[in-house]
Amino acid sequence: MLLEAQHQIESKDSSGGAVSTLAKIQCMSLADGRFGLERINEEFSEALLGFNGEAVVYCEGISDIVAQKYAMEYTRMLQNRAKTIETQPPRIPAGLFEPNRNLIRSTLERMWEKHFPKS
């Protein structure tokens, strides 16, 4: 699309017509928009990698297998939230008591908020 806009400007200019300021602005905003999206995608990828790295270390450090599986499922839910995919919270497994569940959720939520601060 950017190349198409540049081509239109060049063809107008070579045919002897004046290149409009509007055409130049449109071309520049296309370039700025593309750069902005690349920057946003890069920042998002870095945040997601940072969160994943921290969350995996935390989850692997949980010795109780039931709690560890719950933590990994909760991590997946938070990853989906970052990607703006709405998912249900993971089911609460039998044997995972409320204090442990609350600790897992609050720890992972804090990690998530650190990497994806509210705007």
DSSP labels for 55-70? Answer: HHHHHHT--SHHHHHH
Domain that holds residue 14: 2-115
Domains of the chain: total:
1
DSSP letters of 82-118?
HTT---PPPP--TT--HHHHHHHHHHHHHHHHHHS--
Each residue of 22-73: pLDDT tens digit? 444 444 444 445 555 677 788 899 999 999 999 999 999 999 999 999 999 9
**Model pTM score:** 0.67
